[in-house]
């Protein structure tokens, strides 16, 4: 698309209106894990950044194998920096399972994205914000008292919950029609995603000096 452009936005995103419940994980099976911060990273310089991540899965995406697909979009402040769209390695028989596999993949990528900028001298402000549109998966990951009812997703379940317990990230629910990761996980027609999702990512118009 010759008219598309990804704008670099340096201003910190405003999440003051985001409801992020705070839970005490001390009495959970995860205890009080800490965020992994590299000890050999250089002293950060310049302005801090906030990492934002959108994740989604599409059940039974591949008609030949029955596998779902994972879609993930990563942003530094308001700038998209990486996109991931790939069939999952296992066949999931329910949306809950496919969404948890996607969430685990996103958490693994977040760990890498929090390490790399620090080794480049970038200061990361606070936790990362991961948004998903499956409310059951978000609640299961974010609450210490949530129980696992699908044993075959146990490792994904615990991996995501431990990341939340360590305060490395917040896993928050977002309406599916507002989740830009949908672009990477589903079979979309151009007209369906133009106004709501793609325009805000690829078609900022005007002088970049006028924006954050």
Query: Looking at the domain assignment, is residue 125 inside a domain?
Result: yes
pLDDT digits (tens, 9 = 90+) for 79-136: 999 999 999 999 999 999 999 999 999 999 999 999 999 999 999 999 999 999 999 9
Is 12 part of a structural domain of the chain? no
Query: Residue 69 falls within a domain, yes or no?
Result: yes
- In this structure, what CATH number is given to the domain that contains residue 161? 3.30.420.10
Among 181, 177, 126, 160, which Cα is nearest to 15's?
126
Note whether residue 139 is domain-resident.
yes
* pLDDT band, very low/low/confident/very high, at 147 (cuts 50, 70, 90): confident
Q: What is the DSSP string of 134-149?
A: -HHHHHHHH-TT----
Residue 209 belongs to a domain = no
Residue 37 lies in a domain: no
Domain that holds residue 76: 51-201
Q: What percent of the chain clears pLDDT 70, i.e. is strictly above it?
A: 90
For 43-76, the pLDDT digits (tens) are 998 899 999 999 999 999 999 999 999 999 999 9
- In the predicted structure, residue 166 carries a pLDDT above the cut 90: yes
Looking at the chain, the whole-number percentage of residues with pLDDT higher than 90 is 65
CB atoms within 10 A of CB 174: 20
Examine residue 77 and state whether it is found in any structural domain, yes or no.
yes
* Mean of per-residue pLDDT scores for the chain: 88
Give one DSSP letter per residue of 31-73, joined into a string: -S------TTPPPP-S--B-EEEEEEEETT--TTT---EEEEE
- Give how many domains the chain has, as a whole number: 1
Is residue 145, in this structure, part of any structural domain at all? yes
Residue-wise pLDDT for 175-208, tens only, equals 988 888 988 898 777 666 665 566 677 766 555 5
């Amino acid at each position: 698309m010759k008219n598309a452009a990804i704008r670099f936005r340096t201003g910190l995103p405003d999440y003051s209106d985001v409801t992020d419940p705070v839970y005490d994980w001390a009495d959970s099976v995860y205890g009080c894990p800490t965020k992994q911060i590299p000890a050999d990273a250089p002293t950060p310089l310049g302005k801090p950044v906030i990492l934002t991540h959108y994740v989604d899965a599409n059940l039974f995406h591949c008609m030949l194998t029955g596998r779902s697909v994972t879609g993930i979009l990563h942003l530094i402040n308001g700038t998209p920096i990486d996109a991931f769209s790939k069939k999952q390695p296992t066949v999931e028989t329910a949306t809950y399972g496919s969404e948890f596999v996607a969430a685990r993949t996103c958490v693994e990528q977040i760990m890498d994205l929090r390490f790399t900028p620090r080794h480049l001298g970038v200061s990361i402000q606070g936790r990362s914000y991961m948004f998903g549109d499956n409310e059951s998966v978000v609640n299961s990951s974010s609450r210490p008292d949530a129980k696992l009812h699908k044993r075959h997703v146990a490792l994904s379940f615990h991996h995501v919950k431990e990341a939340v317990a360590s305060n490395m990230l917040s896993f928050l629910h977002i309406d599916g029609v507002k989740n830009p990761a949908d672009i990477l996980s589903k079979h979309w027609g151009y007209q369906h995603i133009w106004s709501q999702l793609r325009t805000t990512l690829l078609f900022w118009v005007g002088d970049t000096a006028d924006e954050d």
